[in-house]
A = this chain, B = another copy of it.
Amino acid sequence: MSALPNAGPRPAAPPALLDELRTLLGDRLSTSAAVREQHGRDESYHAMMPPDAVAFATTTEEVSAIVSACRRHRTPVIPFGTGTALEGGVAALTGGISIDLSTHMTGVLRVSTEDLDCTVQAGVTRKALNEHLRDTGLFFPIDPGADASIGGMAATRASGTNAVRYGTMRENVLGLTVVLADGRVIRTGGRARKSAAGYDLTRLFVGSEGTLGVITEVTVRLYGVPERIAAAVCAFPSVKAAVDTVIQTIQSGVPVARIELLDEVQIDACNRFSKLGLPVEPHLFLEFHGTEAGVAEQSEMVGALAAENGGTGFQWAARAEERNRLWEARHNVYYAGLALRPGARIWATDVCVPISRLADCIVETKADVMEAGVLAPIVGHVGDGNFHLTIVLDPDDPAEMARAEAINARLVERALAMGGTCTGEHGVGTGKIWAVEREHGEAVDVMRTLKAALDPDGLMNPGKVLRMG
């Protein structure tokens, strides 16, 4: 299931195309092995499949010219952001040209402090955007952990720790500039906060992972930096006690900004990697945003729920440095997992279930992991019902891969049976095509119809999201 389902014959890109692109881009076209390899894999266990060349684009018009040239030469196009994805979405399964959007397309084109929105080139990363916004009193909340590009986050419908309060890229992208498979450039959406003006093309391209077009510019919502931010950690006697606290928090409507679960295995890894010094027990990491009074009220309500569930050692991190240290550790769970076993890679699962089923889903999954004897810390955006096993493994060991594959398959089936989804935020890439088919059944045919209509030659990031014919 992790293999390359659509990997057919793999012709090299025609020399005439490379000549054409070299004329267009000069030394911004690279065919060096190191560059191609860097663009042929993401941070996951998925195999590296280098493109034939990497085109470092500077403008939407240039992306359009590259896509048009590729189309004339019937050569695949694979958009590339920061390469921090987890489902093999950038692998050049059948060769082709990787369009790197994050090296030169890093301009913040417009910020409106009055309208709380901005437009950026696709390669601006979330940290770079927030750095740019530093003196405006505004921030961009979507935070998948990695310092991903805004274009890549839109393409994969990313979310992360703040989504429980601020939503995902689905809710926060207002409009896009997209280069279509035939090289045409369209603008979708706009700057109005709502619109009923025709089909929602913005939401169609958000999450399409480069298979319908290349996102080159993104307009996103911004938010005022809260008057008050307070973070806290709390230990629990069991994962179930922690998750029950989350469920009750969500059901009470407390507008918590972040509520993250780290199980005892994950805490142990974080203690080693990030020197946290926390007791090796399941923890919630929390953050509250609001006015002074609002944050006080929220934290009191959640503190009471935690206490009822046996939570202990509620520690506050009100100062920015303490908060940053906490979230830095949270963001580094991936690398903390990797550090548990030098040379290993991570297979990250990503189910998301209705909140009422979350405790059952995690408890059953944890039992399954124990039974299989696999090293797999659990971390999760549990306010959304979303959690990850980060299975630490050697991708070259077939037995380890088979165990991980079996755990993932059982987890997906468990989540689907509970009314959930196979991927809350990591996307489909090559790794979850089978799971999307399980989840959406007949509706996948409709997705194929849309793909065929917008990319009739099948050249836009082929072999991702859907199995075509």
Contact = CB atoms under 8 A, between A and B. Distances in A.
Contacts of A252: 224
A192 interface: yes
Contacts of A190: 419-421, 439
A449 B186 CA distance: 13
A117 interface: yes
The CB with the most chain B CB atoms within 10 A, among A350, A384, A441, A443, is that of A443
A195 interface: yes
Given A112-B356, A187-B441, A385-B192, A180 B446 contact: yes
Nearest to A188: B443
A200 B192 contact: no
Interface string A203-243: 11011100010000000000110100000000000000000
Contacts of A194: 157, 159, 163, 168, 170, 352, 384, 386, 421, 424-425
Contact of A452 (B117, B422, B435, B453): B453
Contacts of A204: 199-200, 203-204, 450
A303 to B, nearest CB: 15
A293 B298 CA distance: 11
A297 B297 CA distance: 12
A193 interface: yes
Contacts of A350: 196
Given A191-B419, A203-B170, A454-B446, A156 B196 contact: yes
A180 to B, nearest CB: 7
Interface string A260-285: 00000000000000000000000000
A447 interface: yes
A133 to B, nearest CB: 15
Given A251-B114, A253-B224, A198 B466 contact: yes
Contacts of A423: 195-197
A182 to B, nearest CB: 10
A442 interface: yes
Interface in A143-184: 156-159, 163, 167-168, 170-171, 180, 184
A355 B199 contact: no
Given A291-B297, A352-B192, A354-B112, A198 B444 contact: yes
Contact of A224 (B156, B170, B251, B354): B251
A181 to B, nearest CB: 11
The CB with the most chain B CB atoms within 10 A, among A157, A167, A197, is that of A197
Contacts of A445: 184, 186
The CB with the most chain B CB atoms within 10 A, among A158, A251, A253, is that of A253
A445 B454 CA distance: 11
Given A186-B441, A197-B440, 4 more contacts: A156-B196, A170-B200, A194-B425, A198-B207
Closest 6 CB pairs of A and B: A203-B203, A453-B453, A114-B356, A195-B421, A191-B419, A115-B354
Interface of A: 112, 114-117, 156-159, 163, 167-168, 170-171, 180, 184-188, 190-201, 203-204, 206-208, 212, 223-224, 226, 247, 250-253, 291, 293-294, 297, 350, 352-356, 384-386, 419-428, 432, 435-436, 439-447, 449-454, 465-466
5 contacts: A194-B352, A194-B424, A195-B424, A197-B421, A197-B422
